[in-house]
Amino acid sequence: MQQDFNNYSPSDHQVWRTLFERQMEQLPLMASKTYVEGIEKVGFVANHIPNFETETNPRLRVLTGWEVEPVTGLIPERDFFELLANKKFPASTWLRTPEQLAYLEEPDMFHDTFGHVPLLACWRISPSVILWQN
Ligand SMILES: [Fe+2]
């Protein structure tokens, strides 16, 4: 599946900006230094949705060998863990609407990328070790 980056509307980019700025007001005070540094390492910025193919994945490949794998939404557990075993992190491509800023029933692209991908820029442990420990 492709991200279809050119399909994002100005409203989508504004939703990303609003969510990004809200998080960045608090994260440096509350989140681990590793996570906050990871946001910068993967190149996430306020003014636009990250383009996985041209921005995020080239950086991740160099840093840790990980990639973001676009998916339509929630996927079966087996597919999810198979992607992780191959250093591919499944991320939705759809974004919540301005009316959904505070609550969503299903993780969207902001949740999947902003919430999870920064730590992949700092990955130093094999995913099989993490899975085995859980
Ligand atoms: Fe999550």
Rounded CA separation 82/87 (Å)? 9
Q: 23-80 pLDDT, tens per residue?
A: 999 999 999 999 999 999 999 999 999 999 999 999 999 999 999 999 999 999 999 9
**Closest to 88 measured CA to CA, from 108, 54, 112:** 112
Q: Determine the distance separating the centroid of ligand 1 and the alpha carbon of 122, expressed in angstroms.
A: 17
Q: Determine the distance separating the centroid of ligand 1 and the alpha carbon of 6, expressed in angstroms.
A: 25
Q: What is the pLDDT of residue 132?
A: 44
Q: Determine the distance separating the centroid of ligand 1 and the alpha carbon of 108, expressed in angstroms.
A: 9
**CATH classification (class only), 5-133:** mainly alpha
**Closest to 125 measured CA to CA, from 84, 92, 71, 78:** 84
Q: 98-120 pLDDT, tens per residue?
A: 999 989 999 999 999 999 999 99
Which amino acid type is present at position 13?
A: H
Residue ranges of domains in the chain: 5-133
Helix (H, G, I), strand (E, B) or coil at 17: helix
Structure-token match 């939404």, residue found: 73
Q: Determine the distance separating the centroid of ligand 1 and the alpha carbon of 72, expressed in angstroms.
A: 15
Give the count of beta carbons closer than 10 Å to the beta carbon of residue 65: 10
Q: Determine the distance separating the centroid of ligand 1 and the alpha carbon of 111, expressed in angstroms.
A: 6
pTM summary value:
0.88
Distances (CA, A) of 3 to 48, 93, 98, 129: 14, 6, 20, 30
Q: Determine the distance separating the centroid of ligand 1 and the alpha carbon of 91, expressed in angstroms.
A: 10
